[in-house]
Amino acid sequence: MSLEWDDDKLYLSHNRQSERLIENYNLMDSKQTFKTPMEAELNMMAGPKDDLPDVPYAQLVYALLFVARCTRPDILFLVTFLCRYLTNYTAPHFKAAIRVLTYLKCTMNFKLVYKITPDVQPLKHSLIQTGEVSKKLADSQQGGLYSSSSMVIV
């Protein structure tokens, strides 16, 4: 993951991982371009589990999921949709995953940007102890801990 700081912004990207995927799937010289990660009205059907195409579908989808979850929310919907078919994919599923990768190639300059606002204070979480709300606020470098008798939220 690449982190870049500007005066009041943090930029996150996975260009190196995306470039490696594009190389591995032989798309470096591809002239094909897409403005969206998926085609309109995409309709996928599950294939037979005993007759899967001999393509690295799962490896590609897992790699795309890592990139999508960390720095590319614009592809997250489609990648999680493709995850539904990890055990019963067909050639059109693989083609859709390759389209996402081609879209990443076309939008390599996209970055996730967080703007730092000076008037925003760090969050402080209340602790709940034995089911009653404590008035103490928890501060730490990791944020805080919110807990109840049966649940912990970090």
Q: Is the pTM of this model over 0.75?
A: no
* C-alpha distances out from residue 63 to 24, 32, 34, 122, 141, Å: 12, 21, 20, 33, 30
Q: How many CA atoms lie within 13 A of 35 on its CB side?
A: 1
Digit-coded pLDDT (tens) for 75-91: 999 999 999 999 999 99
- Parse the chain into domains and list their residue ranges: 2-115, 123-154
75 and 137 Cβ atoms separated by less than 8 Å: no
Sign, Cα dihedral of 103, 92, 70, 29 = negative
Beta bridge partners of 2: 13
**Mean pLDDT over residues 49-63, rounded?**
93
Instruction: Select the more confidently predicted residue: 122 or 131.
Output: 122
Instruction: Mention every residue, 6+ apart, whose C-beta is less than 8 A from residue 19.
Output: 108
- pLDDT at residue number 138: 42
